[in-house]
Chains A and B, each alone.
Chain A
């Protein structure tokens, strides 16, 4: 599995897990609590922070660790270890374009909420949701490209 594909898998799993954790926090709020009273800030920051840190650590563990394991098993350093080629770059562009389309739509939603003077809770969560959706769509498009062809 190419290094970039491993990174994409790690990024997808971590993003979905962090978003799920944050969603559980929101769902655990008492019924009838006003959106403006939900202390979402720290959990959201934690979800974003965990996503970034875990993606980096996970990529190191599964990418470099996998390469080391393969090297030990074959007793030869794979020649393409850590290599990023044209296909990786083209797939990254394809995924990036899909993610950007989702991000644009999400930004529009956040803009409308701001214009409508919606509570900060809704604006912040619309942006967070956009970030998650764009990351997931981008990762899925890249993985489909890696698996099914490009």
Chain B
């Protein structure tokens, strides 16, 4: 059974910092559905590396500024 990802992100904050970009606009620019952007923001889906880089590029920051992976094992 699938489980939510442990990767966290700052997409929501970065969207607002980038001129209050909407989820729909971000989705269009990276070629995914708005629901996928919502799922990523809420930590319910880990995007592919390619989509992750696209998100970072559109938001104008580095990958590490968007996504964080906890150093301790929280399983």
Is A148 touching B36 in the complex (CB atoms < 8 A)? Answer: no
Is A149 touching B1 in the complex (CB atoms < 8 A)? Answer: no
Q: A79-B24, A79-B27, A80-B34 are in contact. Are A86 and B2 (CB under 8 A)?
A: no
Is B32 touching A149 in the complex (CB atoms < 8 A)? Answer: no
In this complex, how many residues of chain A approach chain B with their Cβ under 8 Å: the count is: 20
Interface residues of B (CB under 8 A from A): 1-5, 24, 27-28, 31-36, 39, 43-45, 47-48, 51
Interface pairs (15), CB distance under 8 Å:
A78-B24, A83-B31, A83-B32, A86-B32, A86-B36, A87-B33, A87-B35, A87-B36, A144-B2, A145-B2, A148-B3, A149-B2, A149-B43, A149-B45, A150-B2
- Write out the residue numbers on chain B whose beta carbons fall within 8 Å of the beta carbon of A88: 33, 36
B50, closest chain A residue (CB): A86
Is B35 touching A2 in the complex (CB atoms < 8 A)? Answer: yes
Q: A149-B44, A150-B2 are in contact. Are A85 and B24 (CB under 8 A)?
A: no
- Write out the residue numbers on chain A whose beta carbons fall within 8 Å of the beta carbon of B43: 149
Whole-angstrom distance between the alpha carbons of A146 and B2 in the complex? 10
Is A150 touching B45 in the complex (CB atoms < 8 A)? Answer: yes
Whole-angstrom distance between the alpha carbons of A144 and B48 in the complex? 20
Q: What is the CB-to-nearest-CB distance from A41 to chain B, in angstroms, rounded to a whole number? A: 37
Is B3 touching A149 in the complex (CB atoms < 8 A)? Answer: yes
Chain B proximity mask over A75-114: 1 for CB below 8 Å, otherwise 0: 0001110010111100000100000000000000000000
- Write out the residue numbers on chain B whose beta carbons fall within 8 Å of the beta carbon of A148: 2-4, 44
Whole-angstrom distance between the alpha carbons of A87 and B36 in the complex? 7
Q: What is the CB-to-nearest-CB distance from A139 to chain B, in angstroms, rounded to a whole number? A: 14
Q: What is the CB-to-nearest-CB distance from A137 to chain B, in angstroms, rounded to a whole number? A: 11
Whole-angstrom distance between the alpha carbons of A80 and B36 in the complex? 10
Is B33 touching A83 in the complex (CB atoms < 8 A)? Answer: yes
Is B2 touching A80 in the complex (CB atoms < 8 A)? Answer: no
Whole-angstrom distance between the alpha carbons of A136 and B37 in the complex? 27
Q: What is the CB-to-nearest-CB distance from A2 to chain B, in angstroms, rounded to a whole number? A: 5
Whole-angstrom distance between the alpha carbons of A5 and B33 in the complex? 12
